Structure 1
């Protein structure tokens, strides 16, 4: 019989061309007294959602019943030069659009929820200071962050996602009338003066455009990668190109493009219709040589869940939608895992006086 470890290492991970062997994930594979296999795997990305599939594949390949234990070791990856990582946060993912109204905040909330359900520790920073929506979408609009030793304690939603937003600190009916420097300072305070609790992935929901907040992000905040959200519509693609160009100029890697509202799914009959055009995000990703992370639907259940702050329930009750976001989130996690590791925290900070 072929070597047991080699059989397991040849098994392909779903939604990818990777194998257990290529990820160096096999920690142990031992036969028990009852004749079954006890297999221990460890990945550099969240992989709890793969457990059933991998268990079935290993059992089929070896002809034995399998007890599978999956662990993850998510580490900090490289950010732009000259910026140190933040205590309590391993990887920061900026979610940008260049244009408003393309579903960037909805995408952020759903990617965060999908990664959490895959086994990661996740946070969301609402950097859209003029129109904060994450507290509503994540179901924590009625909460207030506690303060401890001059720092905010991020609010946790029902799923355990850590959330910080200017929306917690201002009257929801009050307009934020601030100039650029004040907005940039507020963003830094929300990020650096929050006690993030061992976050594997922190999503930053950016406002539209390429202005002060985006410049602050590139100069002061350690960003592992950026996700660009667009619709297939030509007018949205124009602004998405500008956002991508901005990130290239400030040396922030583009994780990929997410095409949102790619099709409308009728809640009555299930009919799919590309009301904003077809494959615009896919064409943009191909032209700019960045990955297409997914094509997300325009769907009534998604809108209802966002308005009611029940994004976790959406993923639990609507399997088809959950799988779409799960695939997109997994693509993001794999892209981050492929980056080099960050070792800046191991070096002392040198001050010249």
Structure 2
């Protein structure tokens, strides 16, 4: 039997479609709630046009917090920008925990509006950064937002920032597989993402969450460039001996990559000077270029560049 649409219908394109009290009893409730009636967000095509000037788009992911994902993202950007012929940008979409401004040494800087959009903050002539941290009145301010507002902010970062012509856009994401990850993949779906670099530490408690991240990537058809095992042993800066701080009781990232048919891009050892450099907003690669960790970073970045370019050829 036909039932009329509810009087206060939120509309099929609303985030609340099929979920409000007025939707109860509507024959289309399940269809609306599933999102099947929603038209594609026009921002997807707008962002695709904006991203035509960006050659490579790389997401840095991890299912687990505290594995050094932002630290890796920052040093990946530094390493890529080490070639003065490359234009690099680092986008921080960790809305609730924006640590990139501090790590990159640009905390307290402000974003300026121009005729062509928001201007990112420049660390070097060829290295730009964008983060919600630049929009807060204080680094200690808490961002207490629900999903739709986070999604809107990510949309603005991708569509309204004047990125210019870039060789690489590195996107630092929060831990997990939720709003921010779905948004960035959705908004870049028509813009050709090169893939994700997944960060883990050697112990099983980290690998367990990283496997979820890998399955998320496969479910949303996001290519995986490879896996980096961070904090892989501790190299003493003085005696150069290596100690195992986080034992790989189940074979570490290498075993996981074998089982899941992924590329292990490399292992980066712990070095207390990495944390110090991040706190001071300096590039560890520039401060300690010959350290084992810096050499490991560069090796990982070379592997990542090789695989990214190879993927683009195909």
The alignment's TM-score, normalised by the length of structure 2, stands at: 0.79
1:140 and 2:131 matched: no
**Aligned residue number for residue 37 of structure 2:** none
- Asked if the contact 1:305/1:314 (under 8 Å) is kept, the reply is no
For 1:253, the equivalent position in structure 2 comes to 223
Which runs of structure 2 are paired with 1:16-31 in the superposition (5 Å)?
A: none
Moved over 4 A (4+): none
Give the one of 244, 259, 262 matched to 1:287: 259
Question: Which of residues 217, 220, 228 is equivalent to 2:184?
Answer: 217
Q: Residue 48 of structure 2 corresponds to which residue in structure 1?
A: 84
| SS across alignment from 1:147 | strand
2: CA distance, partners of 1:289 / 1:235? 20
Q: Distance in 2 between matches of 1:294 and 1:241?
A: 17
Match of 2:277 in 1: 305
Q: CA deviation at 1:198?
A: 1.4
Query: 1:341 Cα deviation (Å)?
Result: 5.5
The equivalent residue for 2:211 is: 241
- Matched residue SS, 2:141: coil
Alignment of 1:29-108 (within 5 A): 84=48, 86-108=51-73
Deviation by residue 1:101-152 (Cα, 9 ceiling, x = unmatched): 0000001111111111144321100011100011111111121122102611
CA distance in 1: counterparts of 2:66 and 2:145, whole angstroms: 22
SS in 2 for 1:251: coil
Check if 1:155 corresponds to 2:121. Answer: yes
Superimposed CA distance per residue, residues 55-78 of structure 1 (whole angstroms, 9 cap, x where no aligned partner):
xxxxxxxxxxxxxxxxxxxxxxxx
Deviation of 1:316 after TM superposition, in Å, equals 4.6
Q: What's the offset of the Cα at 1:192? A: 1.4
Give the match for residue 24 of structure 1.
none
CA distance in 2, matches of 1:197, 1:150: 10
**Conservation of the 8 A alpha-carbon contact between 1:115 and 1:326:** no
On the 8 A contact 1:115/1:329 being kept in 2, the answer is yes
2:63–2:210 Cα contact (<8 Å) kept:
yes
- Asked if 1:202 corresponds to 2:176, the answer is no
Residue 184 of structure 1 and its aligned partner are, at CA, apart by 1.1
SS of the aligned residue for 2:199 comes to strand
TM-score when scaled to structure 1?
Answer: 0.70
For the pair 1:326 / 2:298, whether they are aligned, the reply is yes
Q: Please report how far the alpha carbon of residue 281 of structure 1 lies from its aligned counterpart in structure 2 after TM superposition.
A: 1.1
C-alpha contact (below 8 Å) 2:79/2:285 kept by paired residues: no
Q: For 2:313 and 2:150, how far apart are their aligned partners in 1?
A: 31
Q: Is the 8 A contact 1:90 1:201 kept in 2?
A: yes
2:140 to 166, 170, 173: 173
Q: Tell me, in whole angstroms, the C-alpha distance in 1 between the residues paired with 2:114 and 2:75.
A: 29
